[in-house]
Structure 1
Amino acid sequence: MLSSSSASTPLKPTSAMVDPGPSAPDFRRVAIFMAIAIFLSSALSLPLALGLLPEVLLTLLVPLAQLAPLIAALFVRRSGTHLRTELALAVPSWSRLLLTVAVAVGLFSLVPTVRFLLGIAIGVPSMLEALPPVLVAVPIVLVMQSVFAIGEEVGWRGWLHGQLRSLGFWPMALLIGAMWAVWHLPVLITLGLDGRSMITYLGTILAAAPLLSALRDYSGTVWAAVLGHGLLNSLRVALEQNTLGVPTQMQAWVLDIGTWVLWILAAWLLLQLRGLARVDHPGSGGDSDLTGG
């Protein structure tokens, strides 16, 4: 039984009672993660870029390269931590994840649709007649691309997201997007993309990154970002590449910049749906307020 003096004295908060919030980023660990991921991607790409291996192996190279962020994350993760928590593999709420799936499909359909309307408005010829057979193949491609995306997303929106979340949502999401874009360079050079195509590719990666981070925040698990990545490489590609003809150079710039803005707006919209972007799911690694920045 409590004595009268202890009952009337308010308890002082202790370190066990106060949530310290996300810790400051360990940039040394982040730099090692990035170096390993780029090294692995480059090691796979270089033999093809130098012509030492046949180009037919490119279809095998890309899925293997996508495992690099996962391998890097496993190498730099802190010993003694819970793997599923640190990599955001746990699903704190299946209902929230299912809702995120529905929102993701809607946004990844909406952005290319608005892009199509923008293209029509600026005079780009339409080619919707080619779309139906392509959309039939989308579910199969979506499953395949989502499986391939696991290695990337566990690294980027899983481990790295947890490391950088104290920066605030937008600085975190854009920094991850920039690192994600840089990591793609060895493969893009191997593919032989010209400068204009590379700008389009890297710009799309950077612009879509906040939406993938928002999917991860909204659901509290990396699996939502895995699905979003799969949608980016399947549904988004199908809609963007089969609704419009070849634009002029000026039209291409308008479409690129307009689409980048749309991806950013889609992320902003999802954050509004989340309600101040606060994530505090059990088992999600303790993500807290990410509205800063």
Structure 2
Amino acid sequence: MSLQQSDSHSIETRRVAIFLVVAYGVAWATAAALFLTGGLTDSPELLPGLGITLATVLLPTAYMFAPALGNVAARLLTGEGRKDLQIRPHLRGSLRVYAVAWFAPVLLTLVGAGVYFAVFSASFDPELTTYTEALRQAAGGDIGIDPWTLVAIQLVAAVTIAPLINMLFAFGEEFGWRAYLLPKLLPLGTRQATLLVGLVWGAWHWPLIAMGYNYGFEYPGVPWTGFLAMCWFTLTTGVFLAWVTLRSESVWPAAIGHGAINAVAGLSVLFVAGQPNPLVGPTPLGLVGGLGWTVAAAWLLWRSEVFTGTPPVDDASSSDTADATTAEAR
């Protein structure tokens, strides 16, 4: 059964409720444990000298995999079993979708960063002064390499290997949000379900935002405006991730896309001078830095057949229609 076909069914409220209780419960319990042990900034070191803290271990595991656990728990507790897992890759018919999932996040993020630095030109530091100084402090002296070389390495990694590495952790979220909750909410309508999942996904981050994740503490209205900014980010990127999921009927393009977003999101910070308002940019988590994602989400919602329900007419479909008409005439 395709994801679109599930539109005709009613919402399975019990399964949705179990999923949300586990996805939120495990994640927020993890956040509580982190808060009680020093938060994100003072998390205890598990391996002294290596920078591995309790937070760096629990965030990509217990927190990020809570939605996947919600998927599994809802299936086990309601007898749903393995129905419509969305884990088959469907590579043969979805290679273009995979390519878009892999490379579009880089383009959309760089577009937003470009707009931000064009509007706030005083924040742009082509000499990488702040980044260079941070490297020198970390190295305890001369870094021995051109900072621009490091930037180039990070950019190349962001479009090659990083999406695959990050995919392993992003799968924990996507197996929950896009592979389970999205199909369950499709009876509301594809647009409505996509936007609702985006909001649920955003609110799920709130305990981390309150502890300074993504936005820090130095912005107006902390942490409430950070909560809202995160929801806007998850709404816009969530449209894209829903689109690649619905087009491929597989969770893997969304996991790759999510991994690509995580890989490229912080690159613009390397060019920042001073302390910009993170609610504005330059990363895609800010309103201006995320303009590329906002435009893409709006276009997909109003023009893509995935959301409009009107598939485009191509030569193949026209030929099929003509053949059917000829057959009927016979």
Q: Report the TM-score, using the length of structure 1 for normalisation.
A: 0.75
1:226 matched residue in structure 2: 255
The answer as to whether partners of 1:69 and 1:156 remain within 8 angstroms in 2 is yes
Q: Give aligned-pair identity as a percent.
A: 25
**Could you say what the CA RMSD is over the residues aligned between the two structures, in angstroms?**
3.2
The answer as to whether partners of 2:105 and 2:260 remain within 8 angstroms in 1 is yes
1:287 matched residue in structure 2: none
1:263 matched residue in structure 2: 293
Gaps of 5+ in 1: 1-18, 281-293
Deviations 1:65-85 (A, max 9, x none): 1111111111112755462x4
Q: Judging changes above 3 Å, is the alpha-carbon distance between structure 1 residues 136 and 106 closer, same or farther for their aligned structure 2 residues? A: closer
1:174 aligns with 2:195: yes
Deviations 1:41-81 (A, max 9, x none): 12222122012762611111112211111111111127554
1:1-293 → structure 2 map (5 Å cutoff): 21-51=7-37, 54=44, 56-64=53-61, 65-77=63-75, 81=80, 83=82, 85-91=83-89, 93-124=90-121, 125-127=123-125, 130=148, 131-138=151-158, 139-191=160-212, 193-194=216-217, 195=222, 197-238=226-267, 240-246=268-274, 248-249=276-277, 252=280, 256-270=286-300, 272=303, 274=305
- Give the C-alpha shift of residue 247 in structure 1: 6.3
**Quick one: higher RCO (CA 8 Å, sep 6+), 1 or 2?**
1
Letter in 2 for 1:32: I
2:325 matched residue in structure 1: none
Secondary structure of the structure 2 residue equivalent to 1:221: coil
Q: Judging changes above 3 Å, is the alpha-carbon distance between structure 1 residues 21 and 199 closer, same or farther for their aligned structure 2 residues? A: closer
Deviations 1:79-134 (A, max 9, x none): 55462x4221123x313332112222342122222213212321333345643132
Residues of 1 paired with 2:271 and 2:189: CA distance? 36
Residues of 2 paired with 1:200 and 1:253: CA distance? 11
| More moved, 242-251 vs 163-172 | 242-251
Secondary structure of the structure 2 residue equivalent to 1:252: coil
Number of paired residues? Answer: 259
Q: Judging changes above 3 Å, is the alpha-carbon distance between structure 1 residues 134 and 232 closer, same or farther for their aligned structure 2 residues? A: same
Q: Report the TM-score, using the length of structure 2 for normalisation.
A: 0.67
| More moved, 114-123 vs 218-227 | 114-123
Residues of 2 paired with 1:161 and 1:38: CA distance? 16
Gaps of 5+ in 2: 46-52, 129-147, 312-330
- Give the C-alpha shift of residue 166 in structure 1: 1.8
